[in-house]
Structure 1
Amino acid sequence: MNLINHLRNRSFWLIDSLKGGVIRKHLNEISFVINSPYSSDSLSIREQHLKNLLKHATESTPFYFDYKGTDHIDDFPVIRKTVIQENFKDFQSIPYIQKQNYKVSTSGSTGIPFFLFQNKNKRHRNIADVLYFSRQSNFKIGNRLYELEVWRKHNKKSVYKSLLQNIIQFDISKLTDSRILSLINLLKSSKQEKNILGFASSYEQICQYLDRNKTDLGDLNINAVIANSEYLNQYTKTSLSKHFNTAVLSRYSSEEVGIIAQQTLDSQEHFVINHASYYVELLDFDEDKPVKSGEYGRIVVTDLFNYCMPIIRYDTGDIAKLIKLENGQTKFEKIEGRKMDLIFDTKGNMISSFVVYTKFYNYYTLLKQYQFIQQSEKEYEVKLNVLDTFPFEKELIESIKKDFGSDAKVTITYVDEIPLLSSGKRKKVVNNYHKA
């Protein structure tokens, strides 16, 4: 860490110290709980946070008044985004309505606007969560951070704040070859330690560019790359790691909640669950009961620190698979994305989105973009934005039929652009049949 970055680091912690060391205290607790999640002290801390949250919610929040005296989380209902939207006022804790709160919003992968309010302590906890998981990718406050996002007036930092925090905000709304080259030159121009945070789909486009073009990257001095907001497929993870000579990690988080799980330098294939700040459940698709290790289930989250709008057993709409390691620790083995965009073969069996991504690996040098859509029970559409021509239609269709069924009807549509969602994400897998 150079001198200026060191000063940035010291200044951050000095300011926190002058304010009572709130973030430092949160960070210390998060580190302790996640590093020893099943110790008696850790379990005691987690249980106390959950108990306090349930008591506060049932005594101060109209939606949960009927559950007053209920101290077991299984007795609370699983809620979805629509429930919160339709009962928004009832989810606001009465003592916190007039306090200093913060609005967090997201369009989500559904494109439906959604927002919540968070209290000040929840805000501090989120900052500490980010610091903990950033440390697990060898990032320190003060170091250079490149954020690959769709930057607009509502989310863009000021020039002064970006300089102060040593953040480079790189817009990816139109990630053309020339734009990718400008990012590479930007990375090469700075010799200081750096980390990158951005959408997985933008990394995939960068990999495709680097696979097509021989580019001398040299030593970029990147500690790690973190992919957020979207599913990180194995091609992108492996290819970007090779090109940038660093670890590529996936983060599972949401604007309305925070960081729920992340891969780390010590756990590069599995997701470390944030047991310190959330009570996380993986429930069956049809019943509100836990799934077994090795099975897919719905990710359901209870936010232990948002007292302004207590969110208990919130179905995120995403799915994951649990794995139990030899040391007894439980992690997410895979996080597949939104339940509404699960895809199925012609017999109705669920197919992992990973299977879809593998269909296109051999053709990445020919493609700008692709999208796989299940239109009906047995009808599938592949949208391709190609560089020039695509002479492998027959092979691609046969490959898809191999996994989805010999009676699958596969059509290929050529497009000039696959548009971004309002969130800035570009969906690779869509299920219009399931939505209908």
Structure 2
Amino acid sequence: MLLNSVRNKFFWTLDGLKGGLIKNQLNEVELGVKYPNSDKAKDLKNQHTNNIIKHAVETTLYYGNFNNAKTISDFPVIRKTTIQDNFEQFQSYKFKDSDNFKVSTSGSTGVPFFLYQNKGKRNRNHADIIYFFNAASFEIGNRLYELEVWRGHNEKGKLKAWLQNAVQFDISRLTDERIEAFLNLIKKDRQSKKTMLGFASSYEMVAQYLERNNIFLKDTGIIAAIANSEYLNTYTKETLGKHLDTQVLSRYSSEEVGMIAQQTLQSPNNFVINHASYHVEILNLDNDKPVKPGEFGRIVVTDLFNYAMPIIRYDTGDIAKLALNEDGVEVLEQIEGRKMDVIHDSKGNIVSSFVVYTKFYNYYHLLKQYQFIQQGEKEYEVKLNLQGENFEFEDELITSIKSDFGSDANVVITYVDEIPPLSSGKRRKVINNYKKA
């Protein structure tokens, strides 16, 4: 559409008048993500790494304790609580009185957390997001459907939404009627290029509805559906893609850090790491040594651009499996979600959350919601919110769970009317109350 092209040109013209703050960063991001092993990309990353280390050591009280550090590995791994307990010590005195941006998240633990970002970091973050949107064939100005929990604190004004060509669809109560309303929106929308961005759990509910009602939508113009904030399981990826005739991709990012990795149209199954803006490590679950390709480990991120509050070796609380692509570049083969919600079988071995999701695929047409909870060493609870009155497959489901979690596992099924989301709108499918305790 002509209007979309005008929106695109307006955005980049405005950026040009400001000195190309985002465009220049975007060119650098593209180099660093596409060609991370090139000499130019390595030199740029080394420069940014050395700069953030020097800045952190010289201008913050916390990192001032590590003035002999030369490389990222010379610093300790920190966690959210480390920053919360030493908040002022992480602030750079050079930026403390600047016009910084406050970013906050309740997190999947429900614990409020915020930090500050300087303007340069914000520009870099915008460039990161634009690059990875482009990798899903989305261009600024095209229609974007955002499936979120929209409230006063995050809702865009009408003018801003119009300028961004964004449709804000609230998913607080994603009933069948709301799903029908959403599907009618995209069917009536005459724009030829649309992209979806939303919680993976909302995509799963839409996928279940489409499959349950045997609905297949063609030629809606949906180029890609990007899932964020939550784990995207195989069922949702394949089923939603099949019924909407599109590619479903997963994004890994956080409010406090930014755009870390994403699946792309060229890499639809592996997560392309944002090597340009972050130093990403996958460390052993029990120590701070790097894992080998094919192994799971903790995601530890160093932000190379936040000078207001330097964040070096930040343990995100999530785990992932490291892999190498055909060019020998590190990618993430799987992202499992929070380490504290990694589950174990009755003998203490880690079981991928992917295994849990497969247990419910055969029953999706009977379920509104489900949740799998490890309550003890060998105690597991399954919460089911049913479509109808009865579930005749209890024994079959319990046997299937025991086949992976142990014949001595004690599995209890509880029927509920609702599994409420967190305040953020996320819906946790897998919880480990045993390890948490």
Q: Distance in 2 between matches of 1:331 and 1:253?
A: 15
Residue type at the aligned position of 2:276: A
Q: Deviations over 1:63-110 (max 9, x none)?
A: 111112421111101000001000001110001011110000001111
Instruction: Tell me the distance in 2 between the aligned counterparts of 1:381 and 1:320.
Output: 25
Q: Alpha carbon RMSD of aligned pairs, Å?
A: 0.7
Alpha-carbon distance in structure 2 between the residues aligned to 1:119 and 1:333: 32
Q: Measure the CA separation in 2 of the matches of 1:240 and 1:425.
A: 18
Residues 38-80 of structure 1: CA deviation (Å, up to 9, x unaligned): 1111111111100000000000011111112421111101000
The amino acid of 2:400's aligned partner reads S
Residues 398-429 of structure 1, C-alpha deviations (whole Å, 9 max, x = no match): 00000000000000000000011111101000
Instruction: Give the secondary-structure state (helix, strand or coil) at the position aligned to 1:95.
Output: coil
Q: For 1:24-35, what aligned pairs fall within 5 Å after superposition? A: 24-35=23-34
For 1:57-96, list aligned pairs within 5 A: 57-96=56-95
Give the aligned partner of residue 201 of structure 1: 201
| Structure 2 counterpart of 1:425, one-letter code | K
1:280-295 equivalences under 5 Å are 280-295=280-295
| 1:297 CA displacement | 0.3
In the alignment, the residues of structure 2 paired with residue 326 and residue 267 of structure 1 have an alpha-carbon distance, to the nearest angstrom, of 11
Identity of aligned residues (%): 64
Answer yes or no: is the 8 Å Cα contact 1:261–1:272 preserved in 2: yes
> Paired residue for 1:392?
393
Q: Secondary structure of 1:178's partner?
A: helix
Equivalent residue, structure 2, for 1:52: 51
Letter in 1 for 2:213: N
- 5 Å-filtered alignment, 1:338-377, equals 338-377=338-377
What SS does the aligned partner of 1:208 have? helix
1:430 aligns with 2:431: yes
Q: How does 1:230-379 map to 2 (within 5 A)?
A: 230-379=230-379
- Secondary structure at the counterpart of residue 117 of structure 2: strand
TM-superposed CA distance for 1:216, in Å, is: 5.4
AA at the equivalent of 1:27 = L
1:117 corresponding residue in structure 2? 116
Offset, 1:132: 0.0
Equivalent residues, number: 435
Q: TM-score scaled by structure 2?
A: 0.99
Q: Give the Cα separation in 1 of the matches to 2:57 and 2:64.
A: 5
| Deviations 1:160-193 (CA, angstroms, capped at 9, x unpaired) | 1101110000000100000000000001111211
Whole-Å Cα distance in 2 between the matches of residues 425 and 325 of structure 1? Answer: 31
Gap runs ≥5 in structure 1:
none
Residue in structure 1 matched with residue 14 of structure 2 by the alignment: 15
Distance in 1 (CA, whole Å) between partners of 2:189 and 2:78 is: 46
Query: Residue 418 of structure 1 corresponds to which residue in structure 2?
Result: 419
Indicate the residue corresponding to 2:106 in structure 1.
107
Structure 2 unaligned runs (5+)?
Answer: none
Partner of 1:181: 180
Q: Which SS does the other structure have where 1:373 is aligned?
A: strand
Moved over 2 A (4+): 214-218
The answer to whether the 8 Å contact 1:55/1:69 transfers is no
Query: Could you tell me how far apart the structure 2 residues matched to 1:127 and 1:216 are?
Result: 34
**Residues 215 and 243 of structure 2 are in contact (CA less than 8 Å); yes or no, is this contact kept in structure 1?**
no
1:224 aligns with 2:224: yes
TM-score under structure 1 length normalisation? 0.99
**Cα distance in 2 between the residues matched to 1:135 and 1:356:** 33
Cα displacement (A) at 1:214: 3.1
The letter for the 2-side match of 1:105 is S
How far the C-alpha of 1:326 sits from its partner, in A, is: 3.2
- Taking the aligned partners of 1:67 and 1:60, their CA distance within structure 2 comes to 12
